[in-house]
Amino acid sequence: MKHTLSTIAVALTAIVGITAVVKTTASPSEPISVIKPAVITEPEKVELGKMLYFEPRLSISGFISCNSCHNLSLGGVDALPTSIGHEWQQGPINSPTVLNADFMLAQFWDGRAKDLKEQAAGPIANPMEMGYTHELAVDTVASMPAYVARFKDVYGTDEVNIDRITDAIATFEKTLVTPNSPFDQYLEGDKKAISEDAKAGYALFKDRGCVSCHNGPAVGGTMYMKMGLVKPFHTDNPSVGRKAVTGRDSDKFVFKVPTLRNIELTYPYFHDGSVWTMEEAVNTMSDIQLGRLFNEQETAQVVEFMKTLTGEQPQIVLPILPPSNANTPRPVPFK
Amino acid sequence: MKHTLSTIAVALTAIVGITAVVKTTASPSEPISVIKPAVITEPEKVELGKMLYFEPRLSISGFISCNSCHNLSLGGVDALPTSIGHEWQQGPINSPTVLNADFMLAQFWDGRAKDLKEQAAGPIANPMEMGYTHELAVDTVASMPAYVARFKDVYGTDEVNIDRITDAIATFEKTLVTPNSPFDQYLEGDKKAISEDAKAGYALFKDRGCVSCHNGPAVGGTMYMKMGLVKPFHTDNPSVGRKAVTGRDSDKFVFKVPTLRNIELTYPYFHDGSVWTMEEAVNTMSDIQLGRLFNEQETAQVVEFMKTLTGEQPQIVLPILPPSNANTPRPVPFK
């Protein structure tokens, strides 16, 4: 588990170069810990990362940015079953939220990227997503003096490379946390912050075992688990999960447990994006993962609890991006 | 000409219901007038309009918003020759900037929409752009209680209709002005605000006749003019311009004169988006519209002047959009 103990966060603040330290408060008696606002120690790097996060010229078309599929107006997702990529290609899997993503033990549904920096490099060069190359992405950014000046300010030299681009993006993404949800207020002692139904839902969430996977600050993201533990999950989606990373048959259909933070915003649900309502998601999970269905009232209560996990969304001032010039590679939106 | 006299703006402020009155200062001796910051009198309507401007669920795919092709990080354009629409269809014409668009005598390159409100209705229902219907757009917005509450606050009743949706979007767009450009500072008396080359460029801009079309607060947008007045403009783009609106043969290849405000940001240029540098655009214009080429130094000076037209870009806090629910029409990103 990452970041679950406030002592870790406190220790990290002492290390030079750590930019956005996210503190959490773990209550010894609760399996879910409170998310604290991000503490930004390198605002220039965060600002550069924000620019790159909204930069459509990191795609070959000049049209797709990180924010296209991890839209910060929409809970950090695209709210589609699977994403739209270059030339309107249909992505293979549901776009996970970028919000609180740094709490995950690894990135992507199958955990194939160890952290946000490694993740950020993937879509840029994926022919089904942004369709660019790292070399051209670097050339594009390096062609604009306003970007180069920022790289020099942040990294000490004016070199633009994919390592710095993804480091800056990841540093921005680490600030995308959603503190002060009603449930966090409840955990911190405000017993009126959530309804009686939500409290009953939380009790069910713990008693029935949801919490054995959905725990930690992000209410998920601390482990991998088989989708279809008790009964098989029926889907047309061909993803095999962790098996694609480890090669092990035992990892077939094993996925990273998704966060339930802001779950009301991050529909449709599951790695195949097949389910649009929290009620159906709760029912399916209780059936195939726990082997015991909730009744209608219980489902409503668990959903009520899950709605209390919506936190304060990051306030983002849209970055103004520098203009291309004669040295900037031109986008190729159409063949 | 709209908004060119400060007296008009002052008179308008007295009228109840006018939300964002943009004031300009006309210097009697100059053909270009200063743009003033927008005065926002109905902030709730502007905020609602901003939400709808960033709302991808106004498209059938759930992926394309107004901001997709009029990106406020990129000078209010997509910086592509022609836009990417639903299912990656190639648009027919270069996306004009939304910045200072309310200064235009009409909207679209051919002026087929009389104002921003009428314009906003077009792309939503255009099968090549957002691909939705007005009815489904209304159903989508009306399905979300948080939107309905805002419509009630702004319009007095909770009815959501396309008239109100486009009114709100247009009201937001009216705030998207770019004051305090170096050239405006120069016009207002700060003679050091622009370089000597820029002053020489402005003199050429006036002397050679550029200003006969590119005038007013937006340095354009006050009239229609034939593209290829002296020599024909060679393009593969099939657009016929005003003829499509009026039916008159004499209006063939007649387009609205585009604004030169923020021209450094709004490449590629011309209605076909065929030209990527200001130098080439200036040369082509002098050749086919004025019949007299600038020499290399003159071109550089005119470009230097045009760069002084980049104003302060609107500071936009990204809106947080309400979640869809069981009543919200589901997007259809793929067939």
Kindly report, residue by residue over A155-167, the tens digit of the pLDDT: 999 999 999 999 9
**Which of B73, B78, B80 minimises the CB distance to A54?**
B73
Neighbours of B283 (CB within 10 A): 19
Cα A83 to Cα A68, A114, A119, A159, B130, distances in angstroms: 9, 22, 16, 32, 16
Q: How confident is the model at residue A10 (pLDDT cuts 50, 70, 90)?
A: very low
For the cut 90, the answer to whether the pLDDT of residue B1 exceeds it is: no
- Residue identified by tokens 């801009």 is B205
Nearest CA in chain B to A331: B80
Which tens digit of pLDDT belongs to each residue from B227-255? 999 999 999 999 999 999 999 999 999 99
Q: Does B335 touch chain A (CB under 8 A)?
A: no
* Helix (H), strand (E) at residue B130: none
Q: Where are the alpha helices (DSSP H) in B161-215?
A: 162-174, 182-187, 196-207
Q: Does B80 touch chain A (CB under 8 A)?
A: yes
Please state, in angstroms and rounded to a whole number, the distance separating the CA atoms of residues B216 and A203: 66
Q: What is the arithmetic mean of pLDDT over A151-179? A: 98
The whole-number average pLDDT for the span A120-131 is: 98
| Chain B CB within 8 Å of residue A59 CB | no
User: What mean pLDDT is predicted for residues B310-331?
Assistant: 98
In the residue annotation, B196 being an active-site residue is answered as no
The residues in A 251-290 lying below 8 A from B, measured between CB atoms, are 264-265, 267, 276-277
B335 CA to centre of own chain:
32
Q: Which residue of A has its CA nearest to B262?
A: A323
Residue from A48, A51, A63 to probe the interface with B (highest B Cβ count within 10 Å) = A63
pLDDT at B293 over 60: yes
Residues of A in contact with B72 (CB under 8 A): 318
- Read off the pLDDT of residues B147-200 as tens digits, 9 standing for 90 and up: 999 999 999 999 999 999 999 999 999 999 999 999 999 999 999 999 999 999
- pLDDT level of residue B29 (50, 70, 90 thresholds): confident
- Over range B297-319, report the average pLDDT: 98
| Interchain contact, A317 vs B313, CB within 8 Å | no
Q: Is the pTM of this model over 0.90?
A: yes
User: Closest-CA residue in chain A for B279?
Assistant: A326
Assess whether pLDDT exceeds 70 at residue B6. no
Which residues of A are less than 8 Å from B326 in CB distance? 276-277
Q: What is the pLDDT of residue B65?
A: 98
- What pLDDT score does B13 carry? 35
Report the complex ipTM. Answer: 0.92
A333 chain-B contacts, CB cut-off 8 A: 80-81, 84, 90
pLDDT of residue B27: 62
Q: How many CB atoms lie within 10 A of CB A223?
A: 16
Q: Looking at chain B from residue 208 to 227, which residues have their Cβ under 8 Å from any Cβ of chain A?
A: none
Q: Which of B48, B63, B236, B303 to mutate to test the interface with A (most CBs of A within 10 A)?
A: B63
Q: What local confidence, expressed as pLDDT, does residue B28 receive?
A: 62
pLDDT at A302 over 70: yes
A322 versus B26: the higher-pLDDT residue is A322
pLDDT of residue A250: 97
Measured between CB atoms, does B81 come within 8 Å of chain A?
A: yes
Residue in A with minimal Cα distance to B264: A323
Q: Is A54 left (phi over 0), alpha (psi -120 to 50) or beta?
A: alpha
pLDDT of residue A25: 65
User: What's the whole-number mean pLDDT along residues A305-327?
Assistant: 98
Q: Which positions 19-48 of A are in contact with B (Cβ < 8 Å)?
A: none
* CA–CA dist B320, B317 (Å, integer): 9
Backbone angles phi, psi at A186, to 5 degrees: -65, -45
Name the nearest CA neighbour of A83 among A104, A97, A100, A102: A97
Q: What is the pLDDT of residues B88-134, one digit of tens each?
A: 999 999 999 999 999 999 999 999 999 999 999 999 999 999 999 99
| Mean pLDDT for chain B overall | 93
> Could you give the CA distance from residue A305 to residue A182 in angstroms, rounded to a whole number?
10
Give DSSP secondary structure letters for B265-298: TSPSBTTTT-B--HHHHHHHHIIIIIS----HHH
Round to whole Å and give the CA distance between A213 and B165.
43
Q: Which chain B residues contact residue A61 at CB under 8 A?
A: 80, 84
State whether residue B236 sits within 8 Å of chain A by CB.
no
Res. A28: pLDDT tops 70: no
Q: What contacts B85, CB < 8 A, 6 or more positions away? A: B64, B91, B126, B128, B129, B130, B131
Facing B324 at nearest CB: one of A87, A267, A324: A267
Kind plus residue range of the DSSP H or E element containing B51: helix B43-53
Query: In this predicted structure, what is the pLDDT of residue A29?
Result: 83
Length of chain B: 335
Q: Which residue of A has its CA nearest to B77?
A: A63
- Point out the residue among A63, A87, A265 whose CB comes nearest to the CB of B78: A63
Which residue in B55, B129, B173, B298 is the catalytic one?
A: B129
A64, A56 Cβ separation under 8 angstroms: yes
For A261-279, what is the mean pLDDT?
A: 98
- Size of chain A in residues: 335
Identify the pLDDT of residue B22: 52
B286-to-B197, B205, B211, B283 alpha-carbon distances in Å: 18, 10, 12, 5
Query: Which of A69, A78, A80, A143 to substitute to test the interface with B, most B CBs within 10 Å?
Result: A80
Q: Looking at the predicted structure, is the pLDDT value of residue B207 above 70?
A: yes
Residue A122 confidence (pLDDT): 97
Q: Quick one: tokens of A136?
A: 């051209």
**Whose CA is closest to B165, among B136, B129, B141?**
B141
